[in-house]
Amino acid sequence: MVLKRAVLPTPNLTREEKCALLSLRKNPDITVLKADEGNAIVLLNTMDYHRKVQDLLQDPEHRTITRDPTEALVRETTSLIKKSLASSEANRNLVPQAPVPPRLYWLPKIHTEGAPLRPIVSAIREPTYNLARHLTGILVPFVGSCEYHIKNSAEFVKTLRNIRLDNQGILVGFDVISLFTKVPIKDTATSPTTVR
């Protein structure tokens, strides 16, 4: 077996551009972020960025907690995993190792007027991360088996081409804001009905 040295990708920034970007990152009055969509870098006035973040946190769905719940979640997750019917080998892989709290950050939506921020929660290494990955593996074969599932935007466009509206018909699109904080947990967990 012959191992080859990995070929590093050719940089697409000149030395001057790298220096300029580094200088911008060091400027406390400017916040440098990736855009929510597309391969773009966004420069925001830091005060404007913090104001937008504070506006988002005013949503009544967000609340301040008085203590870090990570350890309690580790104990609860570990207990549930040990009670499961999974093999002891699988249990060892599911139990959280050196977990951290989820990390919340925001990316600007540059294709929307005013470039509002989209909240992103990074759950990597949080207490239920390994369990979520395991469950994803179990559920993936069932994704797409519903007639209402659309795989990607290209399939959505193809589906729209086959829809014919009468003269009184209209096509409506909805932009859901903060979807996951608005889902009624109790109704979602207990309702046997299918959303159509």
Instruction: Give the model confidence (pLDDT) of 138-166 as tens digits.
Output: 888 888 777 778 888 898 888 888 888 88
Domain of 116 in residue numbering reads as 18-62+69-166
Q: Is residue 178 part of a domain?
A: no
Number of structural domains found in the chain: 1
**For the whole model, what pTM was predicted?**
0.64
Could you tell me the CA-to-CA distances from 133 to 95, 129, 148 in Å, in that order? 12, 6, 24
Q: Is residue 187 part of a domain?
A: no
**What percentage of residues in the chain have a pLDDT greater than 90?**
20
| pLDDT tens, position by position, 56-65 | 888 887 888 8
- Give dist(CA 28, CA 37) in Å, integer: 25
Q: Is residue 182 part of a domain?
A: no
What is the per-residue pLDDT for 6? 67
What is the per-residue pLDDT for 194? 46
Q: Is residue 189 part of a domain?
A: no
| pLDDT tens, position by position, 14-49 | 899 889 888 988 999 999 888 888 888 888 999 999
Q: Is residue 139 part of a domain?
A: yes
Per the DSSP assignment, residues forming a β-bridge with 44 are 31
